Chain A
């Protein structure tokens, strides 16, 4: 290239490099992606008009010739976006959102706006605008800092997929142009997909928001609010700062009731807990706070202490679409006006989102491709915490908007929540967990693999190989990769190192197969042992023994078959008359295993009698009796007849089937 033609580029390049981002106190991780944002909320248009300064520090060993920006809100832009495939059909203009890049420039003023292109090659949908690529005048070299000025306007849709507004409640998630994740292989960014979440670098955020004056003191943010001032127009200027985080969300509503509490778990740093509560959820206030307080202590002890000084809980109104979402130092809960105490909500959702403060907040895994790492671990450990702190919740049915707890009908965690996942494993078998999450067949596959099945797998491994080693491994994983971006390989390596190769092998088996675990006792018989008959002995000693009547001992046969694709080590317990029990261990790898035992009469054979493997899709076939026992079916026949009698009488009374849509 001639020198004259290279001049503008050279000038641009000299200005590309800039001082490091604003000084930060108490940094836990070298910042890669930091933001200084100023944005103004327009209540009428539901827009945030903003200007952001993006600081990208290239801490990789490679050069970046361009910048990849996520414009997540463009997922709501029209019905051709990748995200729209997972959204309900729009009912009006309020259902649409957007993130418009008004101007993109380098710190020196070099305008890059015209260079912006959308849907990079390989993104799979040319109509999608959730990824913007901006070529740079010259690459960002290792160790250099790129400073980008971006003017944007974001329009929030009516609350859906955990962002948007409902009446005067606003939850702004993924609202600003955000850098994709910088890796040694270049930018890692995928279009906003309906079943997946996010992946980003750590950094610092300095955000100033101009909001309606009525929300003063009622703004929940990632990090903490450091300044709130009124402007001449009666609006409130809120400045928030967050360090060592990889995202920034905020929420406000004039109706929030704010509760502040200092939590000091024993031996752990103090945490200021802020709860932003809906007035009609007042009954849940103490339940949110107790779950958070005790959850911080328990998860801090099980993993690593919560490292931030503040934790914010946003309780969204029903129907806002903002329930149950995690952001660094901030999460949303979910409860209802009449949430029954024994139903376990909002405690369970609080603990789950709190667990995300570790598994995604600090261990910033790739939620787009490896959702099992954050959702699976959070589901498992929060289920453990919920059972420990609050006991087993009861099932709750809802009739005409009134939740009715069914006291005696228990919903053990994580099993009670995971039956859909087992259905998926038993019937669909569409995707192994290790398939990139966004490539999964459908939302059901994602939810099944990433959440429940991963949780059941971890619980099963803990029960099979020992609870303590698995807990120790998860703790070590959390400690070693805090403020990092671990992968499945990292998790498996730590598991193998701390809990042993069997634990690692089992998790790997569970994650690499789309199939199910299913062991069945297919034969359990006992018959009188035949005395030795026929020709006995060799040569001249050969003798004839005539068949005789069977003796007193029994020959019992048990066959256990592996009907599922995934092998699991199991115990087989055989019970005999007189109370004798024989237990055999089987590595579960072969298609079947047979045992023949002579002695007392076999009563029953049960595979996995201690219920170590919760992934088994059919518990009914886990055992077999040698003699049928009709008592249970008889009892249910009796109950069903009485139920039918009363339903029939109701027919005569109302002449309609009871229980139809309420």
Chain B
């Protein structure tokens, strides 16, 4: 199998990511801490609302539509502005209104942005480690790389975010009215056009993410920490191999989602009682999130290996020295 073959890159990325397990655990800690902080007010409010109410029993196993409606009626601001929440549920809340969300959703949005920023900084560390020949698992070396490449990685991440938001506005928001128009004759036209919007958005997002991954890889491999040079290098690399770059992105996307889907389908639900089951479930959940982090990081590992391989292959062979 060639060094740039997709399965090879995929496996190499996962192995490379696994060697940075200490940094991955750090990322998991960061993720779990932020999740804990962002959900704490809501969890606390739920205790206030449910702890002394026998009717809460109906929510023990899972969500109940009727009881949930009663809960939100008795506490209209529980999840934030109800009108905006309803529009969000119906899929008609424009992107521009997101900053005006309130309550837990606003907290989640803020925490999400913070998480994205921190992840971008950490991605600089991962890029540095994957480009290095030695000390891949060293946390000290990882932090040195974070300091050196974190900001350029963040710049690339912000540009990537702009790209994804642009794709969202272009492919999801702008044509929404047209694809849901009552003027369309058949139901399937509406469905297929809507799916087309989704596919276009995912395609564009995948392209942006592929460029971001290759740019970060270029950042790690370069001697200077110029994000724009890295971006140009990443863009050029992806444009030279667009299909494979997209397939690599898709492969890691599925890898990341697979354990989550399995978990959602098969994991038991904890109803608040048995602490041993809770411990087991928390461990399982953290394993799922860790695997998602690993997959995201592995994409960068694969991108670095691919780019490094391509550069080595493109370098002229040393002249044969004849004695």
Contact = CB atoms under 8 A, between A and B. Distances in A.
Contacts of B310: none
B272 A317 contact: no
A319 interface: yes
A644 B39 contact: yes
Nearest to B182: A319
B51 interface: yes
Interface stretch (A30-38, A216-224, A415-423): A415-423
A654 interface: yes
B273 interface: yes
Contacts of B115: 648-649, 651-652
A625 B270 CA distance: 22
Most-contacted residue by chain B among A278, A337, A638 (CB, 10 A): A638
Most-contacted residue by chain B among A159, A624, A645, A646 (CB, 10 A): A645
A639 B88 CA distance: 21
Interface string B263-291: 00000011111000010011001001100
A622 B205 contact: no
A636 B271 CA distance: 8
B43 A637 contact: yes
A624 B73 contact: no
Nearest to A624: B52
A267 interface: no
Nearest to B94: A661
Interface string B64-92: 01110111011000000000000011011
B172 interface: yes
A648 B91 contact: no
Contact of A646 (B39, B63, B260): B260
Contacts of A638: 270, 272, 278, 281-282
Nearest to A644: B35
A44 B285 CA distance: 63
B116 A631 contact: no
Contacts of B160: 655
Given A317-B186, A648-B35, A659 B88 contact: yes
Contacts of B67: 619-620
B50 A617 contact: no
B220 to A, nearest CB: 18
Contacts of B278: 638
B190 A634 contact: no
A630 interface: yes
A619 B269 CA distance: 24
Contacts of A625: 51-54
Most-contacted residue by chain B among A399, A606, A625, A634 (CB, 10 A): A634
A412 to B, nearest CB: 7
A622 B186 contact: no
A415 B181 CA distance: 31
Given A336-B187, A620-B70, A637-B43, A649 B293 contact: yes
A281 interface: yes
B289 A649 contact: yes
A232 interface: no
B69 A422 contact: yes
A411 interface: yes
Contacts of B51: 625, 628-630, 632-633
Given A166-B182, A620-B53, A652-B119, A631 B47 contact: no
Contacts, number: 249
Contact of B188 (A337, A399, A619, A657): A337
Interface in A5-27: none
Nearest to A91: B183
B289 A646 contact: yes
Interface residues of B, number: 95
A617 B73 contact: yes
Contacts of A278: 186
B229 interface: no
Interface in A601-656: 604, 606, 617-625, 628-642, 644-649, 651-656
Contact of B91 (A399, A415, A623, A653): A399
B298 to A, nearest CB: 13
Contact of A400 (B50, B194, B289): B194
A3 interface: no
Interface string A63-91: 00000000000000000000000000000
A618 B60 CA distance: 18
A1 interface: no
A46 B254 CA distance: 52
B50 A624 contact: no
B243 interface: no
Interface stretch (B105-113, B230-238, B315-323): B105-113
A659 B282 CA distance: 25
Contacts of A397: 89
A410 interface: yes
B59 interface: yes
Interface stretch (B13-21, B145-153, B161-169): B161-169
Given A641-B35, A661-B95, A655 B164 contact: yes
A426 interface: yes
A646 B74 contact: no
A482 B11 CA distance: 75
A582 to B, nearest CB: 15
A74 B203 CA distance: 49
A518 to B, nearest CB: 10
A253 B12 CA distance: 60
A578 interface: no
Nearest to B284: A642
A640 B40 CA distance: 9
A395 B31 contact: no
Interface string B158-201: 00110011001000110010011111111110111111011000
B113 A651 contact: yes
Contact of A641 (B36, B60, B296): B36
Contact of A657 (B74, B89, B112, B296): B112
Given A648-B35, A653-B296, A632 B57 contact: yes
A318 interface: yes
A468 to B, nearest CB: 25
A661 B66 contact: no
Interface string B9-53: 000000000000000000000011011101100110011011111
Contact of B195 (A321, A395, A400, A408): A400
B26 to A, nearest CB: 14
B157 interface: yes
B39 A637 contact: yes
A644 B107 CA distance: 11
Nearest to A604: B54
A619 B54 CA distance: 10
A393 to B, nearest CB: 11
Given A619-B70, A621-B53, A641-B36, A661 B176 contact: yes
A401 interface: yes
B240 interface: no
A618 B113 contact: no
B93 interface: yes
B5 interface: no
B98 interface: yes
Contacts of A649: 31, 115, 289, 292-293, 296
Contact of B53 (A401, A426, A624, A635): A624
A424 to B, nearest CB: 11
B185 A633 contact: no
Contacts of A166: 182-183, 185
Given A620-B71, A645-B31, A660-B88, A410 B65 contact: yes
A623 B192 CA distance: 48
B54 to A, nearest CB: 4
A281 B186 CA distance: 9
Contacts of B253: 653
A657 B91 CA distance: 12
7 contacts: A319-B181, A422-B73, A632-B57, A638-B270, A653-B256, A655-B116, A661-B94
Shortest beta-carbon contacts, A-B, top 8: A319-B182, A631-B272, A337-B187, A401-B194, A637-B43, A651-B112, A635-B272, A401-B191
